[in-house]
């Protein structure tokens, strides 16, 4: 079994790959001031609930965009599984099947996305990741990351608005029937969800224009990739576990190098 760990700003996503598929995917909130013991107990309890022992894990791979959590999770995996994890970062980028732009600036989660997308299509493509941030990563036919566009994620944008209004609103991520908001929640839905509909359409269109390829494959990933239904026809494929899949490919390749 392979355990992939994607440490993001909102959640730590854990994926367990077995028998050719992601058998389990779990999420733990990313809380930087929690001690290692907290995460160790969380992971151990998750495994206990599904009847998997730590000895079943043969390989571990980690991506992190939260420096304050990186060493904690590495130490937890070493303690629990008695194995050194593969950590996706600039040191191993030269061995990947893609070329990484600005290796010390780009998030390793975007690199994992790019690895999975290029492995899937073997040509230029766009990866749209609906996470804490909304990102658009474009690759060339040769597998080079050409550039990234970043905007606040859907939940991030709604949370920002909600926290700065006189009253706090729990706004559901549902497409409104009208752009004419009849109340605060409806108004935020109209502004954010309809606004992001146009944002995603516009950025994809501009990338395709710059790439001179209207048939450029577009891969959507992230937990909110299917929220805006009107965008679904733009995507060649929706793969919620794209980052984990990229990490799996990296782990296999690094295993061959050792």
DSSP at 190: I
Q: Which of 11, 45, 68, 109 is catalytic?
A: 109
Instruction: Mention every residue, 6+ apart, whose C-beta is less than 8 A from residue 17.
Output: 1, 2, 3, 4, 23, 244, 248
Collapsing DSSP to helix, strand or coil, 182 comes out as coil
Strands (DSSP E) contained in the chain are 2-7, 11-18, 21-29, 59-64, 86-87, 125-130, 133-139, 145-152, 218-221, 237-238
**71 noted as active-site residue:** no
Tokens of 189: 């839905």
Q: What are the catalytic residues?
A: 109
């Amino acid at each position: 079994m392979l355990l992939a760990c994607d440490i993001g700003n909102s959640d730590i996503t854990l994926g367990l790959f077995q028998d050719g598929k992601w058998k389990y995917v779990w999420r733990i909130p990313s809380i930087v001031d929690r001690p290692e013991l907290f995460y160790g107990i969380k992971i151990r309890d998750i495994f206990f609930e599904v009847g998997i022992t730590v000895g079943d894990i043969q390989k571990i791979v980690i991506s992190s965009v939260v420096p304050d959590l990186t060493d904690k999770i590495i130490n937890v995996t070493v303690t629990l599984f008695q194995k050194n994890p593969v950590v996706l970062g600039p040191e191993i980028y030269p061995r990947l099947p893609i070329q990484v732009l600005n290796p010390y600036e780009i998030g390793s989660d975007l690199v994992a996305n790019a690895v999975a997308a290029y492995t899937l299509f073997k040509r230029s493509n766009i990866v749209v990741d609906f996470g804490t941030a909304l990102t658009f990563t474009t690759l060339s036919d040769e597998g080079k990351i050409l550039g990234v566009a970043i905007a606040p994620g859907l939940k991030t944008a709604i949370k920002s608005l909600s926290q700065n209004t006189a009253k706090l609103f729990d706004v559901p991520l549902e497409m409104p029937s009208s752009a004419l908001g009849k109340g605060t929640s409806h108004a935020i839905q109209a502004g954010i969800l309809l606004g992001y509909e146009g944002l995603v359409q516009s950025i994809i269109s501009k990338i395709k224009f710059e790439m001179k390829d209207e048939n450029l494959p577009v891969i959507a990933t992230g937990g909110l990739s299917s929220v805006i239904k009107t965008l679904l026809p733009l995507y060649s494929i929706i793969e919620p576990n794209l980052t984990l899949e990229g990490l799996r490919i990296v782990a296999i390749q690094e295993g061959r190098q050792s």
